[in-house]
């Protein structure tokens, strides 16, 4: 059974970087935990966190709730910046 914290991290509406998290973990598993082999994955994860943190802070400043957009909303945001 997963803890409440672990469940939150697996929730697409809460964790915008779930795909990047999973890809990084898989890379680490596949490469015997050699971080050097997974630099690109770490970078993608870091960029993802930075991007969504910025969005969250913007929403917080503007009084928008919830501060983290839902998975559906994030999809639209990403489409608008690509």
Residue pair 42/34 in contact by the 8 Å Cβ criterion: no
For the segment 10-56, what is each residue's pLDDT rounded down to a tens digit? Answer: 787 888 999 999 999 999 999 999 999 999 999 999 999 999 999 99
DSSP 14-72: T-TTHHHHHHHHHHHHHTTT-GGGGHHHHHHHHHHHHHHHHHHHHHHHTT-SSSSPPHH
For the segment 48-77, what is each residue's pLDDT rounded down to a tens digit? Answer: 999 999 999 999 999 999 999 999 999 999
Question: pTM of this prediction?
Answer: 0.82
């Amino acid at each position: 059974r997963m803890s409440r914290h672990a469940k939150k991290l697996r929730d697409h509406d809460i964790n915008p970087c779930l795909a990047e998290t999973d890809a990084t973990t898989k890379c680490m598993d596949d490469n015997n935990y050699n971080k050097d082999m997974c630099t690109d994955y770490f970078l993608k994860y870091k960029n993802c966190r930075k991007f969504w943190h910025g969005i969250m802070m913007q929403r917080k400043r503007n009084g928008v709730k919830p501060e983290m957009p839902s998975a559906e909303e994030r999809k639209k945001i990403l489409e608008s910046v690509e």
